[in-house]
Structure 1
Amino acid sequence: MSKPSQSAYFIVSGLSGIPNIKYYYVFLLFVYFFSVLGNTIVMALICLDRNLRTPKYIAVFNLAFTDLFASSALVPKVLDIFLFNHPYIPYSDCLTFLFFCYTCLSMQSFNLVALAYDRLVAIVFPLHYQVKVTHRSMSSLIGSFWLFDIIANFIAVGLITRLSICESVVINSYFCDHGQIYRLSCNDHFPNYVLSCLYPVLIYWLPIVFILLSYFCIIVTLAKVATVHQGLKAFKTCIGHLLLVAIYFIPVLITFTSMEKIDPNTRIINLSMTSVFPPMLNPIIYTKEIKESVKKLFKIRRQSKIAVRI
């Protein structure tokens, strides 16, 4: 069997030719700066404050880490390609870009599942929370998500390497997109097509179904055993997570379900914003406990300074 003929490079052209796109690059720089700043602060506070070293905040830490990693893997390269006009990407670099972008973006979805599991057990099975949601169980859950995510994206990259790219080398996306690449091949790409159909189901649809079912159980439980005041108080602990779910899933699902009806440029802008916007907002949403942690740290430092002076 002959070795697939592989292109030496790809040309990423998804954001080219869009009117006033330079303002979008300014927006990307703004988002990237605050994503890095916010997620770094969240990770540092969780490490420094023992009160935040709970199973829930293992998931929050992992979310901040994933967001930081995702922003750093995607935004600088996108700006290099389109702002500094370097659209030519070597074949191996393109596959590396694909792997890290897919891994980070899909891990964001799994992080939301882990946080939904935490809220489900805390409200539906409160007496068993300390037993069911431990540091070990949450770490194992997140570790299994990482393992599945990495294996799935290694498979995606492996399936690309078997293709012969003998037509166009232009990728109409904002990064090295699996779907755009396999459509450039001239040999059998049916396995890639199957993966492109399974991937949204595993990464988006199954997680959102689990999250919706978990909140259905939460609402039913609160309606049965709690007063209105108690129910609202318990449900307030879910507001931050629900905002994250809405910000992440709604634009993605709208785009995937309306793929044929959306203008290609609109689709690219929408998906790119979905990739970069949640990492900036995620740290802001967990402000209540983070603010309390910051206040405690400053209070402790002030007290130690006063003690030293005395």
Structure 2
Amino acid sequence: PLLLDYFLITEFVIGGFDTVQRPLAVGVVLLIMYILVMTANFANIYFIILDKRLHQPMYLFICNLAFVDMLYCTSSCPTMIGVLVVGCKTISYVPCIFQMFVFHLCGIMETFAIAVMAFDRFIAIGSPLRYRSILTNFRCVLITVLLWMVACAVLSIIPVTILPLPLCQSTLKYVFCDYPAIVRASCVDPNPYFNTISVISFFIIFVTFGFICFSYLKIVIVVVKMSSMSDKKKVFNTCFSHLIVIVCYYAPRFILIVLTRIGVVLSLEERHGLVVGAILGPSLVNPFIYCLRTKEIRNKVSSDTKSYSI
């Protein structure tokens, strides 16, 4: 019977928004935010690729982060917008599995991208004279490719564990296809699967966050030894944008972890709100932070705007 149910379910119904009282209004807000995310991140990538002066390690890492943000939102937002605005609640099995894999892959890559940018700042401040010899453009691209490969290898556990599962429900209680949604739609006890993925998630989050903290601890040590206030101010300006990105990404995840650990039971609506905020918040803030805080990109935007106006 389980195998029969498994083969009968060829598509899912997204049921996470069934209790939303004004779905169209929520959908329009999500659509506007999604358009802003895509436009702002694409603009950052466009300006960096177009200007050869910006072909430097830090900007290559910014490009990678922008690409991850665009892919991260695209793996989830169109489905949510389709449900809320158009009323299209169904998604086929294969696209659902693909969406789930891409979503969690981008979640891992977001942590990797932020961590490697902390490493970039550490090298730039700790060894400024050797920075260009340590972090060449080729090495930055190589590091980025390796991180994508590692993320894909880690995520291989998802299709390995998900694909054999017999499915008993066609309605997903969540707002798009992710790992918990598919597991809860299966006929098995979800707890062992949740425990496995929780261990992996905690390991990735705390290892990358620990690496970021270690990098900034070394930066603080370097700054304390500086005698010039102007040099200290330059370091602060260099790191401030990245610190905002770190807070925007890790804050909602740590809040979710802490609430779960202390026994607070979140409703599905509260969980959905935190998840959507964790996706759209950093992806929307990141490009504007780097565009407004990074002098080279800001000058490029300003010069291009003036040329078009003329």
TM-score range, shorter chain: 0.7 to 0.9
Q: 2:40 aligns with which of 29, 38, 41?
A: 38
Shift of 1:265: 0.8
Cα 1:91–1:27 shift into 2, 3 Å:
same
Does structure 1 retain, via aligned residues, the 8 Å contact 2:15–2:171?
Answer: yes
Helix, strand or coil: the match of 1:175? coil
Shift of 1:42: 0.9
Q: 1:163 aligns with which of 153, 165, 176?
A: 165
d(CA) in 2 for partners of 1:66 and 1:203? 17
Query: Residue 237 of structure 1 aligns with which residue?
Result: 238
Query: Residue 68 of structure 1 aligns with which residue?
Result: 70
d(CA) in 1 for partners of 2:54 and 2:122? 19
d(CA) in 2 for partners of 1:54 and 1:172? 44
Q: 1:269 aligns with which of 269, 273, 279?
A: 273
Task: Give unpaired runs (5+ residues) of structure 2.
Answer: none
Equivalences for 1:114-153 in 2 at 5 Å? 114-153=116-155
Equivalences for 1:245-284 in 2 at 5 Å? 245-259=246-260, 260-261=263-264, 262-284=266-288
Shift of 1:258: 1.2
Task: Give unpaired runs (5+ residues) of structure 1.
Answer: 306-310
Q: 2:297 aligns with which of 285, 290, 293?
A: 290
Helix, strand or coil: the match of 1:89? strand
Query: Residue 92 of structure 1 aligns with which residue?
Result: 94
Helix, strand or coil: the match of 1:29? helix
Q: Percent identical across equivalent pairs?
A: 25
d(CA) in 2 for partners of 1:293 and 1:72? 27
Does structure 1 retain, via aligned residues, the 8 Å contact 2:24–2:84?
Answer: no
Shift of 1:152: 2.4
Q: 1:111 aligns with which of 113, 124, 139?
A: 113
Does structure 2 retain, via aligned residues, the 8 Å contact 1:160–1:192?
Answer: no
Higher alpha-carbon deviation: 38-47 or 261-270: 261-270
Helix, strand or coil: the match of 2:13? strand
Cα 1:257–1:203 shift into 2, 3 Å:
same
Query: Residue 22 of structure 1 aligns with which residue?
Result: 24
What is the root-mean-square deviation of aligned Cα atoms in Å? 2.4
Shift of 1:87: 2.1
Does structure 2 retain, via aligned residues, the 8 Å contact 1:156–1:195?
Answer: no
d(CA) in 1 for partners of 2:33 and 2:214? 32
Query: Residue 14 of structure 2 aligns with which residue?
Result: 12
Helix, strand or coil: the match of 1:10? strand
Query: Residue 217 of structure 1 aligns with which residue?
Result: 218
Helix, strand or coil: the match of 2:20? coil
Cα 1:185–1:226 shift into 2, 3 Å:
farther
Cα 1:164–1:273 shift into 2, 3 Å:
same
d(CA) in 1 for partners of 2:100 and 2:305? 42
Helix, strand or coil: the match of 1:121? helix
Does structure 2 retain, via aligned residues, the 8 Å contact 1:107–1:146?
Answer: yes
Helix, strand or coil: the match of 1:11? strand
d(CA) in 1 for partners of 2:142 and 2:3? 40
Q: How many residues align?
A: 300
Helix, strand or coil: the match of 1:14? coil
Amino acid at match of 1:141: I
